Structure 1
């Protein structure tokens, strides 16, 4: 699961670095320094993916990736509500509804893959101590 998440984040990071103009279209207007934010988030996604796979900072990377996924959710809503066309991404609600609904799973996935949370698959330490 960790490798798949790192691949997705790396691909998104590369897209941020190589195609910032398309991402500007879905960036909410209240975000300051939009071009710089898109560039910085691209670097972050690549660096966090690397840390998630090989770094001693795996847990920190997962927590930051989860927070990042929460912070970009407004761009996903803008993309859906305004029906903005992006290359290789559908503007159909058949894409947007699952995409918006999946964002909490992405947040959990980053936390789980980094061992920041163990729910629901691994028993907590507290439960292990009781038995």
Structure 2
């Protein structure tokens, strides 16, 4: 089965984001919910997971499993995105506010792409 463009885009997003997680984990530390233990380790682990998922989404043999794992990851990091949006309301930086709230609806097409991957697309 051929790979859909949405799956390719999701793989690209995961590859870039995972690389940033590993290269600059401090970028993500400020958005971690306080109830998550060991922030740095979780950030690094999620970076490795995102890079692994990117590769898994591109390979036909692992696409279905990577699709389900992508859904789990996206749902798992959603609380950090919500926290970032809430934190942005306390700043006067309009760019940060737009980016923080803009991330929230972007999760839905990513979830849709991940679900399509579970069906081999």
CA RMSD of aligned residues (A): 1.9
- Segments of 5+ residues of structure 1 without an aligned counterpart are 85-89, 119-131
1:99 aligns with 2:106: no
Larger-Rg structure:
1
8 Å contact kept, 2:25–2:44: yes
Greater relative contact order: 1 or 2 (C-alpha under 8 angstroms, separation 6 or more)? 2
Q: Judging by fraction of residues, say which structure has more helix.
A: 2
After TM superposition, the structure 1 = structure 2 runs for residues 17-36 of structure 1, keeping only pairs within 5 Å, are 17-36=22-41
TM-score, scaled to structure 1: 0.77
After the TM superposition, which residues 33-52 of structure 1 pair with which residues of structure 2 at under 5 Å, given as runs? Answer: 33-52=38-57
Shift of 1:55: 5.0
TM-score under structure 2 length normalisation:
0.82
Find the aligned partners of 2:56 and 2:110 in 1 and give their Cα distance.
17
Contact 2:66 2:117 in 1 (8 A): no
Tell me the matched-pair count: 111
